[in-house]
Amino acid sequence: MALSEHQVRTQKREELLKMNIVPYAPRFKKIQTLQQCNESCESRNSLELLRDINDIIAQPQREISTAGRLTLFRSHGKISFGKLMDESWEIQIMIHRDNCKLLKNRAPHKVNQEYQQLSPEQKQLWRHIVKMVIVDDDGKIACSYVSSSGNYSLPGGGVDDGDNYFDAVHREAQEETGCDVKILYELPKVHEYLKKRDRHQLAYGYLCKTVGEKGLPQFIESEILDWFEIRWVEIEEFENNLKHQIANPDKDTEWELLDGIFKRDLIMLQSAKELLNKTKEAGNHEGYNTITEIQDQLTDPEGNPIEAYKFFEKYIDVGDFVGVKGELFVTHKGEATLFVSEFQLLSKALLPLGDKFHGIGENEEKAYRQRYLDMIFNRETLERMKLRSKFLKVIRNFYDEQWFIELNTGILGNFASGAAAAPFVTHHNDFDLDMYLRISAEPRLKMATVGGLEKIFEVCIDFRNEGSDPSHHQEFSMIEHYAAYWDYIMNMEFTEKMFDYIFKNIPELNPIVSIPDKEGNIREVDFSTPWKRIDFVAQIKKDSEIDVSLYGAGDEDNLRGMIKSKWYDWVGLDVQTTATMIDYLYKKVSRPWIVGPAFIYNYPKTMQPLARQDDANHNMVQQWQLLINGWEVIKAYSELVDPIIQEKNFEEQSWAVAKWDVEATKSDEEFLLAMQYGMPPQSGRGMGVDRIFSLLTGCSNIRDVIMFPLVKPETPVQNEIE
């Protein structure tokens, strides 16, 4: 019986382990993205700077170090071609049998053997500090040099983005010196001292000082690359500088802390000299490797020699993550290609991806269930998820420029209030108490204004136990903000300003979008400001001949009779409250015909108990919703801050809850208590992230912009909740 693809790959995994090759690498020094590789290849090809492929095969150079998922592989005798894909893009790779090496992870016992051979001083360094020594073929070392002070340091430790920073320095050293720069050695731990230094870190790779605004020494952090340059010095020169620093310690308190670091640098320097001499004596000067990489003679599980090229063919499959190093060239067909002279298996995929050309096809449900496959096969999906991240970042930047601060409030609560929606209920074992997943961050954000915060926002996840359709998802992202001393009109102007900012700073988004409505008809939505204003009550009266402003709490039977007299009906009508019926009527007779963007305002008070009533008409509240192509994406209102009126509104809603209206707003005692200490006048706004981003990207279903949308399991799941 033939083995399944999963069984074959699992068997390969076991064979790799027998070959002392770890099939899941701890890391890989990825210097360039695949997009950067393509761009570099294109620019260098236009300047005729790329070498001929025959010269590359004969003597390849390691100018590229990148990694990604193998999505295609074809073997043609001595030459193989494949496709490598990462988050940024994809590139063709070429492998040649005559010049191909495997990089593999050292087994832990080999690392331990090397550790045991170190001197006590070296073991101390190994345990506590990261140090990297970059050498050229003449035995010189790369040091930082700051012209204003003349201080040097070996490449040293850091705690943030170490690999990326080190790779950038390594690349800069190669470019400035023109030498074949290699890593000699690396000791893989971080000194605890660095973690205790507040924000004053050693620049990763460099210990530098410069003069601050007040003439005091300061550290250069790892993000700053432009303030210093790579300089190559003899080891003796560098050693003399360190000894001078130790012999003549700076009296400044800040620099007294550095004396110990200088001493450690000196010990490390002496260790580096020993390692350099041992390497030269062993005649292996051309094969410097980091502690996590080594090139060995390969043998298969039976002990037979196996070429690296054959290893790739036999043990690496489409779907595996591979690290590759090599040189760029352009094929005779003009395609950017990376000649792979060294490779490393980074992660073994045990299941095949499937047909590259058909992928997941038109199976929308599978795209939602296995979004990771959707992103592999559909580049549009992956780019949309990346764009969503950028969208949120730009919005955060806008809030920051408008002097808002971001908060994080809790998801679990004793009350489910803030919106008219059915909540999810869970159980708190420690408290032995049923609790609610929040349906809105509104109550707690407004409670924060009681404490004195005036302009606040939160990017939050809310939960509403409602039905599913293309515009509703029970777990959804919201951005809510509250601004003291604003009213709802100011929030209209703020919203238009925000969208102008979004389109200015995200060129991938077009202010004119073609969007299908719920019937599949394509409508063109123009987000250019200013937007239209529509009176809620007047529009419903125009569309249904029903004046909803005449009905308040307790008028359910009269409103229900009026609705039925106009031949309107829907599921749940007979048990709904006035507020819920008005909302359903609006969604049935008015909302479908408004393309927008349009601000819908002038709502009856009974629909929004948390909103402030209008001073001119106490039956109305100062609230608006932004409507786009039938979707309500933003809601804002002048907030009700009178605790007496708020408590009365909650009481009026309590009887609706008793009548089984699951969407009626619940009372919130914690919120009422906070209000009684004084809440400033304010306006709040909530924006559905999933909905608005769906519309801006022309998607007809919010699940298309959610990374992992909720789906019903394909097989029944046994509930373990007692």
**Quick count: other Cβ atoms within 10 Å of Cβ 408?**
10
Structure tokens, 442: 């509104």
CA angle 571, 576, 577 (to 5 degrees): 155
Flag whether pLDDT at 365 surpasses 50.
Answer: yes
Q: Distance between CA 31 and CA 167 in Å, rounded? A: 6
Structure tokens, 569: 């009906």
Is-contact 543 590, C-beta < 8 A?
yes
By DSSP bridging, strand 141-145 and strand 229-233 are antiparallel
235: confidence class by pLDDT, cuts 50, 70, 90: low
What pLDDT, in 10s, does the model give residues 301-319? 888 889 999 999 999 999 9
Q: What are residue 472's DSSP bridge partners?
A: 469
Percentage of the residues of the chain whose pLDDT score is greater than 90: 42
C-alpha distances out from residue 516 to 322, 385, 521, 591, 702, Å: 41, 20, 5, 15, 13
256: confidence class by pLDDT, cuts 50, 70, 90: very low
357: confidence class by pLDDT, cuts 50, 70, 90: very low
**Residue 191 burial (10 A CB sphere; 0-12, 13-18, 19+):** buried
Amino acid at 242: L
Residues ≥6 apart with Cβ < 8 Å to 257: none
What pLDDT, in 10s, does the model give residues 215-234? 333 332 222 223 333 444 45
The distance between the two most distant Cα atoms of the chain, rounded to a whole number of Å, is 100
Flag whether pLDDT at 293 surpasses 50.
Answer: no
Q: Distance between CA 45 and CA 51 in Å, rounded? A: 9
What pLDDT, in 10s, does the model give residues 172-216? 555 544 555 444 433 322 223 233 333 222 322 332 233 334 433
Residues ≥6 apart with Cβ < 8 Å to 434: 425, 426, 427, 428
Q: How far is CA 667 from the centre of its chain?
A: 37
CA angle 383, 389, 392 (to 5 degrees): 140
SS (H, E, C) 361-398: CCCHHHHHHCHHHHHHHCHHHHHHHHHHHHHHHHHHHH
Q: Distance between CA 486 and CA 310 in Å, rounded? A: 70
Q: Distance between CA 387 and CA 409 in Å, rounded? A: 26
What pLDDT, in 10s, does the model give residues 322-345? 999 999 999 999 999 999 999 999
At 409, which helix (H) or strand (E)?
none
Q: Which of 244-258, 307-321, 599-613 has the highest mean pLDDT?
A: 307-321
**Residue 256 burial (10 A CB sphere; 0-12, 13-18, 19+):** exposed
